[in-house]
Amino acid sequence: MAWNLNSDRPIYAQILEVIQIRIIAGVYKPGEKIPSVRELAAEAGVNPNTMQKALTELERSRLVMSVRTSGRMVTEDMEMIRQTREHLAREQVQEFINRMKKLGFSRAEVLKLLEQEEGHE
Amino acid sequence: MSELVQIHNLTKVYNKKKMALDHMNLVIPRGRIIGLLGPNGSGKTTLIKLISGLLVPTEGEVLINGNKPGAVTKAQISYLPERTYFQSNMKVKELIDYFADFYGDFSRERAKELLRNLNIDEQARLKTLSKGTKEKVQLIMVMSRNAQLFLLDEPIAGVDPAARDYILRTIITNYNSNATILISTHLISDIENILDEVIFIRDGRMILQDTVENIRGQKGKSVDAYFREVFVC
């Protein structure tokens, strides 16, 4: 998952999301160390203070833990990872529904479309 | 510890008629990457030259670590001018010696490593290099010092986008977290993500100083888009 930062949302919220998705997708595995602030900042092309802020937020939500003298590691609490996954999915669905509303679709129409789309896969 | 740079009532008048800076007040903190943004002729270069001590104020003062610009502050500031000033028959290698001679905080190792990564030959004479490569060499020299304040006047204007990315990454990975980098530029969208704060100036006055995240959060748009709105022509 590349960083692909867009221009209109706060950068910190976007990098937070990328790291969450990496954890959910197992790029950073439970109990494993994640790269340092500097490394992540350089990779994403963002200010180290912004990256620090995103990691602090992840620590606050306990998805990552800081390990004395050796950086940060991903939580081993699988339930927490599962919850984060669910939370991100709900956000995506909400956003999708809002956009469909703007296009004038009713709930029933949206569901029908989704079913049709499933049939194509 | 006091703030890194304090600017009080700073005014610069050229030829008794052109007011380039108009009673500007500004505080520049430590440990930040700050964008100095404003339209052409707004006073960006004048401000940078006053901080570096190349110009003398008409009125007001600049203090760096509590000192007026002079020998002490020049040892703490690494300045990249908008134009190159190197002698064109010098070799890149000689330039390294020159900088090492001049500045006690210059790191030969860092300069050599950066030159190598950008495939710049140390044996080449400056006059044989393209405009963009010359700019890269100059930026490498300036960023290879271990200064407290880096003043970069239009550092990436003539450099291709790939090298630009490399240079920005270099700035992110190399800068000391107590140092501050002040970057003046028009290419906002290219550097926006690496900035902590921006300072907008117009007609020699500071009109905004805020963090990039605040601007994005409050205005719902990038600093680049906001700049275009504030300075619409």
Cα B85 to chain center, whole Å? 16
Which structural domain, as residue segments, surrounds residue B68? 5-230
Domain total of chain B: 1
pLDDT at A8 (0 to 100)? 74
Has residue B69 got a pLDDT over 70? Answer: yes
pLDDT digits (tens, 9 = 90+) for A84-104: 999 999 999 999 999 999 999
pLDDT digits (tens, 9 = 90+) for B193-217: 899 999 999 999 999 999 999 999 8
**DSSP code of residue B194:** G
Q: Can you tell me the distance from the alpha carbon of B178 to that of B52, in angstroms, rounded to the nearest whole number?
A: 19
Q: Is B176 on the interface with A (CB under 8 A)?
A: no
A and B: number of Cβ contacts within 8 A: 55
- Whether the complex's predicted ipTM surpasses the cut of 0.90: no
Closest CA to B8 of B89, B49, B64, B55: B64
| Closest approach of A113 to chain B, Cα-based (Å) | 31
List of chain B residues whose C-beta atoms are within 8 Å of the C-beta of residue A38:
172-173
A47–B194 C-beta distance less than 8 A:
yes
Residue B87 is part of a domain; what is its CATH number? 3.40.50.300
φ, ψ of residue A106 to 5 degrees: the values are -85, 165
Tokens of B105: 């905080």
Has residue A121 got a pLDDT over 70? Answer: no
- Binned at pLDDT 50, 70 and 90, residue B84 comes out as confident
3-class DSSP string for chain A = CCCCCCCCCCHHHHHHHHHHHHHHCCCCCCCCEECCHHHHHHHHCCCHHHHHHHHHHHHHCCCEEECCCCCEEECCCHHHHHHHHHHHHHHHHHHHHHHHHHCCCCHHHHHHHHHHHHHHC
Helix (H) or strand (E) holding B149: strand B149-153
Which of A2-16, B27-41, B65-79, B89-103 is least confident?
Answer: A2-16
Has residue A1 got a pLDDT over 70? Answer: no
Residue in chain B lying closest to A9 (CA)? B216
Tokens of B196: 């902590």
Residue in chain A lying closest to B34 (CA)? A47
